[in-house]
Chain A
C-alpha cells in the first residue's frame, strides 16, 4: 500500500507543529523521518494515525483520500503503529492486548481467547518471534513487549507500519534484531515509516530519508550521506559532534561506592552489589540501556530510595541512611533524569524553582520567613549567568521551553557549594543549542575539581563526556572501561557481555 501525506499542517494554538509537510512512502520501502526532539515528527505520525486531526492537508492511501476521525479508522485503512511508549496494557496478557478493540466473541460478548492465542502464535511463528500469549505484558522484557506491539499491528493486517523512535529502549543487539525485522517486513511488501533522531540507524536501514526541522520538511537525504551532513540538516547549522575538553586533572578518590544494592517495594533488585569510585576532577559516565538500574543508582546517591544496602562515601562521609536534605547539604548536586517530574515544580515561578532545594536556612529563609529580596536577586543573577530565556523571574517555570527549564535546574544545582555532581540524562528532550551549553557546564564542573557522575542512554553523549565509562546491565557493573573503548565493544557490554568477552 502506498502512503502519501500531502501538505499536512497542524497547529496547537499559535504554534505550528507541522507546516505543510508532504511525504510519500512506497510499499516495500523503509522511509526514515529524521529530526530533532520537538521537530514535529510525532505530531505528524499522530495525525497519520488519527490521534490528531490535521488543520490542513490530506492523507492518501493507494490514491484514495482518507478521513480519520480516530485511530480506529486509521487501523481499518491499514495503518499500524509501533508506539514509542508501548500502547500495551501492563496487567493484560499478550493475547488480551492483541485482541483488544478487535475481539472475537461468543455468547453474551464472551471473549474468545483461543482465537487470539492462535493469532498471536501464527504471526509470531511467521516472523520467528518467541512470545507466549498467556504471559502478562508487564512481566515481559522491553524487547519482547515491542514485538507484541508489532504483532498487534500485524494482526490487524496493517500494510503501512510506523515505528516511532523504536530503538530508545533497546540494547544495541535488540536494535539489530529490530532492523532485521524491519527488513523482513519490507520484503513482505509493507510500507514502513521509521522515525528517529539517531543517525547511525538511519544510515543502516533507510531506503529514503526525509529530514524535518521546526515542523517543516528541510529536504531529502540519501542513506549514504555522512553523519555530519545529516546532523547539520537536522539542526540547521554545522554541529560540533564532539565536546572539547582537556585531559582530566585527577585528584583523590572522592566518591566511593561499595556493594550498593537497591531493592524496590515490590522486591525487584534494581542495583545489585555495585562498587565503583570517582576521583576528584573526573567524569564517570554510566552507560546502559534504560531500565538497567541507572535511575535507582542516582536516586540512591541522593537518598531517595528506601531499601538501600552497602555504602556510599563522599570525601569519607557515609551517605547511606541519611535524608535527602542531609545529602544535599553534604554537597551533592543532582540533575534528575526527568525534570518535569523530579526537577521542577511547573506551577511555581522561575525564582521559586531556583531556591527549591534551599528552603532551609540562609540566604533564602530566616527564622522560617522567606527572604524575597535575596531570592529575587539571586534569581536574576542565575537567569543572566545561565542564559535562561524567560520573560521574567516571576514567570511560571512550566511555561519555559525544555532547554530553558533544564537550564534552571542546572543553574540551581551548580550554584550550590558542591562536592559531587550527579547528572542523569542531562540533555534529554533538549534542543541542540542547550545540549552544547549543558555539556560545557558539565565539563567546567569537572575542571573545577569535582567528581561528576553522568548517566546517559545516548552512547554519543557518554563517549563525548566521559573520562571513564561504567556499563550497567540489570543492576550490575559489566565493566568500567576507558573513554576510548570502541562503540561496538560498549554495545556488546550493554547486553551483559564482559569487556574481555566483548573484545574477543
Chain B
C-alpha cells in the first residue's frame, strides 16, 4: 500500500448517487484517536497552557492589578508584582484547598484537603466512566446531567421514603439509582438504534426533561417534597441509606470514592477483557464492519447506554447519599454531568485515564472552593481551566506550535 489516498474507494455511495461522498473517517473518531494517541508531554503542556491562560484571567481581573496598572508606565513593577501576588495567591489557595494545607500545624487537619479532593473525584470518575464508555461505542453521551438527576433523585426517594434495615437500605438505594440512570441513558441509546435519532440531541433534551421531572417530584409532597415546605427539596436521607464515612467523622470522604474505584476496575474489565466490550469497541470504531461481522450494533448502543447511564446514576447517588445528605434538590448534579464530558475526554475514554482526570478535576473542585473562600476568586475559573485543557489536548499541533516543538509526522 502507498501513502497516497487509495485509488479504489467504496462503491456503496456511488451506487446510490454516482458521486462519492467525502470518504474521510468520522472526525470525532479522529479526535478521540488524537486524544488517545497523544503523548503525555502534550497532555502536560496542555495543562500548563490552560493554567497560564487561567493565570492571565486572574491577573487581569484582580482589583489590585488594575489599580497598579493605572500608573503602569510610571511604575510597571507594581503591576507585575500585583499580578504575581494575585496568581500566586490563587494557585496557593488551590493547592492548599486540594492537597495539603501547610498553614495548619496538625498533620491530620493538613491532609483534609486531600480527602476532599477524593470526595469530589468520586462522582466525577463515575460519571466520567459513563460518558467515556459511551464514547468507546461511538456515542456522545451529553446526557450526564439528566442521568445523574434521575439516579440521584431515585436514590434519594429510597433513602428518604423507604424503611429498610441498614445496609440493605443503602444497597437498594444504589441499585435503584443505577436503574433509573440506566433507563434514562438507555432511552437515548434505544431511540438511536431504532429511529436513528442523534444521541447528542436526544441526550441534551433528556437533560431538560429529567430536570423538570425531578423538579416536579420535588414539588409534590406525595412524591419527594418535604412536608410543609415551600421549597423543592426533600427531607434528609435516613442514616441507614447514607454512604458511610471512610476515615471517621473528621473527614467527609465517604464510601462513594471506593465505589468509583470499583467501577474503574469493572469498566476496565468490560472494555478490555469481555466480549461485550469487544463489541462496544468494534461498534465504536467501525459500526459498518461490526454490523457485517454479525454484531447487533443497535442493541450494543442500547445496552452500552444502559450501563453508561447506570454509572452516571451512581454518581448521582454518590452525591445524594454521600456528599450532600441533607436532602434531594434539583441541583444535586452540581455540574458534574457536564464536567464528566471533560473528564472523559481528558481521560481519553480509558478507565485509568478517567481515574486520573477525575482526581485532577476533583482537586480543582476542592481547591476551587478554597480559592473562592480565601482569595475571592470565583470558582468558575476552574471551569475555564478545565475546558481549555480539553481543547488543547484535542489539538496537539496547536500545543506543539505554541511551545515550538517539532511537528510530529502526520499519521
Contact = CB atoms under 8 A, between A and B. Distances in A.
A/B contact in complex, CB under 8 angstroms: yes
Interface of A: 12-13, 15, 17, 37-38, 40-43, 84-90, 137-138, 140-142, 145, 165, 169, 215, 264, 268, 270, 290-291, 295, 302, 304, 323-325, 327-329, 334, 336-338, 340-348, 352, 355-357, 359-360, 364-365, 368-370, 372, 400-405, 425, 428-429
Nearest to B273: A370
26 contacts: A12-B3, A38-B6, A85-B19, A141-B18, A169-B14, A290-B14, A295-B15, A304-B291, A324-B294, A328-B293, A329-B294, A336-B292, A345-B281, A345-B282, A347-B33, A359-B295, A360-B294, A365-B278, A368-B276, A370-B277, A400-B1, A401-B1, A403-B1, A404-B1, A405-B1, A428-B8
Contacts of B409: 13
Nearest to A51: B5
Nearest to B269: A369
A345 to B, nearest CB: 4
Interface string B271-300: 001111111011001101111111110000
Contacts of A352: 278, 282
Nearest to B3: A12
B18 A138 contact: yes
A304 B276 CA distance: 21
B20 interface: yes
Given A337-B11, A365-B275, A325 B294 contact: yes
Interface string B17-38: 1111000010001000100000
Contacts of B5: 42
A402 B6 contact: yes
Interface of B: 1-12, 14-20, 25, 29, 33, 273-279, 281-282, 285-286, 288-296, 409-410
A327 B7 CA distance: 32
B194 to A, nearest CB: 12
Contacts of A403: 1
Contacts of B290: 345, 356
A43 B2 CA distance: 10
B272 to A, nearest CB: 8
A429 B8 contact: yes
Contacts of A270: 15
A394 to B, nearest CB: 13
**Residue of A84, A90, A268, A403 with most partner-chain B CB within 10 A:** A90
A257 B229 CA distance: 71
B285 A348 contact: yes
A13 B3 contact: yes
Contacts of A340: 6, 10
A84 B279 contact: no
Given A85-B19, A290-B11, A325-B295, 6 more contacts: A88-B18, A304-B291, A336-B292, A340-B6, A364-B275, A401-B1
Contacts of B19: 85-90, 137-138, 145
Given A137-B18, A338-B12, A370 B278 contact: yes
A462 B369 CA distance: 72
A270 B11 CA distance: 14
Contacts of A291: 11, 14-15, 18
B33 A295 contact: no
A338 B11 contact: yes
Contacts of A142: 14, 18
Contacts of B276: 368
Nearest to B10: A338
B139 to A, nearest CB: 16
A370 B274 contact: yes
A412 B126 CA distance: 37
B15 A359 contact: no
A357 B273 contact: no
A342 B289 contact: yes
Given A40-B2, A84-B7, A429-B8, A360 B14 contact: no
A346 B285 contact: yes
Contacts of B20: 85-86
B295 A42 contact: no
B273 A345 contact: no
B295 to A, nearest CB: 7
B289 A359 contact: no
Nearest to B282: A345
Select the residue from A13, A338, A343, A368 with max chain B CB neighbours within 10 A.
Answer: A338
A356 B295 CA distance: 9
A15 B18 CA distance: 32
B7 A165 contact: yes
Contacts of A346: 25, 285-286
A403 B33 CA distance: 24
A88 B8 CA distance: 18
B106 to A, nearest CB: 48
A484 B282 CA distance: 43
Nearest to A303: B294
A85 B289 contact: no
Nearest to A292: B15
Contacts of B285: 345-348
A142 B17 CA distance: 8
A318 B16 CA distance: 29
A368 B275 contact: yes
Contact of A348 (B7, B11, B282): B282
A165 B20 CA distance: 14
Contact of B18 (A90, A328, A364, A400): A90
B4 A325 contact: no
Contact of B289 (A15, A40, A343, A370): A343
A329 B293 CA distance: 11
A372 B273 CA distance: 8
Given A137-B19, A368-B274, A15 B3 contact: yes
B125 to A, nearest CB: 24
Contacts of A337: 10-12
A322 to B, nearest CB: 11
B21 to A, nearest CB: 8
B18 A341 contact: no
Contact of A341 (B4, B10, B16, B273): B10
A324 B18 contact: no
A370 B271 CA distance: 10
Nearest to A425: B11
B280 to A, nearest CB: 10
Contacts of A348: 281-282, 285
A361 B119 CA distance: 41
Nearest to B8: A429
A13 B1 CA distance: 14
A346 B284 CA distance: 11
B179 to A, nearest CB: 21
Contact of A429 (B6, B18, B278, B295): B6
B1 A370 contact: no
A93 to B, nearest CB: 14
Contacts of A268: 16
B11 A357 contact: no
Contact of A85 (B14, B294, B295): B14
A357 B7 contact: no
